[in-house]
Amino acid sequence: MGQSQDSRMRPPWSQESSPEEGPSTARSQQWKRAIGVLIAVLLCGLLLGSSMLWVYIFRNCGPRPCETPVCLDLLAHYLASGNRSVDPCTDFFSFVCETANGTRNSFQALTEENKSLLWRLLETQGSWHLGSGEEKALQFYNSCMNTDAIEAEGVGPLQQIIEELGGWHISGNWTSLDFNRTLRLLMSQYGHFPFFRAHLRLHPTPPHTPVIQIDQPDFGILLQKEQEQKLYAQILREQLTYLNRLGILLGGDPQKVQQHASWFISFTSRLFQFLRPLEQQQAQDKLFHVVTIKDLQKMAPAIDWLSCLQATFMPMSLSPTQTLVVHDLDYLRNMSQLVEEELLTSRDMIQSYMILGLVDTLSPALDSKFRKARRELRQKLWELKERPPLPASPRWMKCVESTGDFFEPTLAAMFVREVFGPSIQSAAMELFAEIKDAVIIRLKKLSWISEETLKEALNKLTKLQVEMGAPKQAWNPELAKEEYSDIQLGPTFLQSFLSCVRSLQIRKVQHFLHPFSYHRWTGSPWGVNAYYSVPDHVVVFPAGLLQPPFFHPGYPRAVNFGAVGSIMAHELLRIFYQLLLPGGCPGCDTHVLQEALLCLENHYTALSLSNMAPLNGSHTLLENSGDIGGLAIAFQAYSKKIAEHSGEMTLPNQDLNPYQLFFQSYAQVMCRELNSQDPQGSYSPPNLRVHGPLSNTPDFAKHFHCPRGTLLNPSAHCKLW
C-alpha cells in the first residue's frame, strides 16, 4: 500500500526507471522542454520583426507626403477651392472647382500670375545696352505707366490724328476727303478695320502658303444681338451713351454728337444683320471661299480692295490676281451695297462712323477719361448678361500686355530665363516622351484602325517636332534689336503706341514673306495655351503653361501627369482628328468607328441633360474625343510610371491616394466659370469637360468608390481611343 520515500519525492510527471536511467532521462526531457520554449520565443520575435519590417517598407516605399515648399504651396492652392459637401461621384466639378465666390478659373489665374512675373521683371530695371531690345521695351513700358504725362497730353494728339484724316462734322471742322483714302489710312497706319478685318494667315489647305484672309469686323463696341428684344434694346442704349461720351470728350457739339452716335448704332446694327451664322456656313459646307482681288472688287465694289490691302500689307507686292480667303462673301456684298448707298446721302455720317470706331480702338492709349468710359461700358454690358462684376484691371497689367504685344521676343527671353531653366525643361520633355509612348501603345490597340492607317499614324508621330518654353529666335537679342529698329518712341505715348502698331504689322508681313525653316509661334511664351500646328507638324507647349500649379519637377508625379500630361496627350490626338471626320479614314472599320463616335455623342448628350446644360454635340465632338482620349492616355502613362518606379508622393493632409490626386489635378486644370463658354465654340462647357472623360474612365469610379449607376460610373463606356 505504501510508497517508498524516493517514490513520494518524484515529480508527478516522472516515470518509473532503473537507477541508471533515471537522472539522464529527466534532464533530456527538461532540455527538450527548454528548446520548445526557445523556439516559441524565436517564432514570436520573427513574426514581430516581420510586422515591423512590413510597416517600415510601407512607410518608406509607399506614397510619402511631399512637404517641400512647392508642394505646400500646391496644397494651399487645392484647398482654396472645392465643395467637399458634394458627392464626387455625381459632381466632381463642384467637388474640385467651386469656391465661396463662384468657380475657380485656373487658366486665367495662371495667365495673370505670368503677367505679374513680367511686371516684376520690367519694374526691376537692369542696366540694358543702349539701343537694345530690352531698352526699347522698358522705355515703352515706362511711357505707358507714366499716367501723369498721358493726362497732361489730353486729347491733343488724338485731335491731330482726326484732323489728318479730314476731321469730322460734329466738331464743325470736316473736309470731305476720298472715302477709300481714309479707309486705307485707318487700316495701314492705325490698325483699325471699320467694315471688315484683313489679316495674313497660312492657307487652310496644303501647301499652306501665306494668304490674306478677309473676315467680318469684330464690332469693337461689343454689339451682340440677344434673343430677348428688351435686353438687346438695353445694350444699344448703353452703347449709345458710350459713343455720346466719346464725342463730348473730343469737344463735339452735344446735339450733333447725339445725332451721329444714333446713326452709328443704326448703321452697325444693319451691318450686323448681314452676318451669316456659323451653323449656316457649316450646313452649306462652305467655311471659306477662295477668290482673287479682282473677283472681290466685282462683288463688293465700294471698297478699293487692291489699294487698301496693298497699303496694309506692305512690303507685299499685290496684284488683281492675288488670292484671298473669305469666310462670308454674302456679308461683303451686302456691306458694299450699304456703304455705296450711304456715301450718296450721308458721307459725313460715314466719316463719323470711321472716326468714332478709331477712337474706340485707340482708347487703351488715351487718357483716363476715355479708358473709364470704355471700362464702364464693358461693366454695364457684363451686368446686363447677369454675370459677376468684372474686376478692374490695374494699369500695370494693361502696360505689360501692350509691351508684350509689341516687344514679344524681348519679353519672351526675360520670362524664360526666369522660370524655365534646364531642369524644368528636361522634366517637361521627359513627361512628353512618356505621354507620346502611351499614345503609340494606344494607337496599336485601336479596334477600328487599319494596318496601313496605323503605319501612317506612327510615321506621323515619328516625324513630329515638339517645342517647349519659347521659340528659338527669342534667345537672339540682336534679332530683336533689328526687329524694333523702325519703332520711334515719343514724344507722346499715343505716338509711341501707333509707331509700335505699324512696326508690328510690318514684322508680321515680313515673317510670312521670308522663307523660314522653323515654326513661327502663334502665342507668347508666357501664355498658357498649348497647340498643334498642322502646316509645320509641330506641337508647342509654352513656358507659361509649364508652371505651378500645373507643373513642377518637385510635384508628385500624379499632379504632372494629371494636369499637363492630359494636355499633352490631347494635343497629340489632334494629329489624328482627321481620321474621325467623314471619309477621313477610308481603310478603317468605319462601322466600328461610327458606333464609337455615336456612343460618344450620346454620352455627352446624356451628361448635358443631367447638368441642365444643352449641348450641340456636332460642334464639340472632336474636342470631346480629345478630352476623353487625353485623360485615358495620361492615366495609362502614369500607371506605367509608378509601376516601374517606386517612391511616389502625395500631398499631406488631403486624404487622397496618388490615383485620386491624379484625377483631382486633371479637374483642377479644367476649372472655369460655366457661363464663360462660347455656345458656338468647339469645346464643351467646363463641367462636361470634367465629367465627360471621368465618367468614361472606369478607374476613376474604382478609386473614388463610386456605386454603379451614379453619374460618373455609368453602366457602359465608349471605346474610341
3-class secondary structure for 494-528? HHHHHHHHHHHHHHHHHHHHCCCCCCCCCCCCCCC
295, 342, 571, 601: which one is catalytic? Answer: 571
What residue type is 402 in one-letter code?
S
Whole-angstrom distance, CA of residue 671 vs CA of residue 555: 20
Active site residue 627: yes
In sequence order, what are the residues at sequence separation of 6 or more whose Cβ sits closer than 8 angstroms to the Cβ of residue 649?
A: 63, 64, 65, 66, 71, 556, 557, 658
Active site residue 571: yes
Q: Which DSSP state fits 438?
A: H
* Strand spans (E) along 216-337: 289-292, 323-326
465 forms beta bridges with 538
Contact at 8 Å (CB) between 235 and 221? no
Contact at 8 Å (CB) between 563 and 555? no
C-alpha 1 chain-centroid distance: 107
Whole-angstrom distance, CA of residue 556 vs CA of residue 574: 27
* Strand spans (E) along 410-566: 465-469, 531-533, 538-542
Contact at 8 Å (CB) between 685 and 678? no
- The three-state secondary structure class of 483 is helix
Whole-angstrom distance, CA of residue 429 vs CA of residue 467: 9
Whole-angstrom distance, CA of residue 437 vs CA of residue 460: 13
98, 215, 483, 627: which one is catalytic? Answer: 627
In sequence order, what are the residues at sequence separation of 6 or more whose Cβ sits closer than 8 angstroms to the Cβ of residue 400?
A: 115, 118, 119, 122, 141
Backbone torsion region of residue 490, taken as left when φ is above 0, otherwise alpha when ψ lies between -120 and 50, otherwise beta: left
Catalytically annotated residues: 571, 627
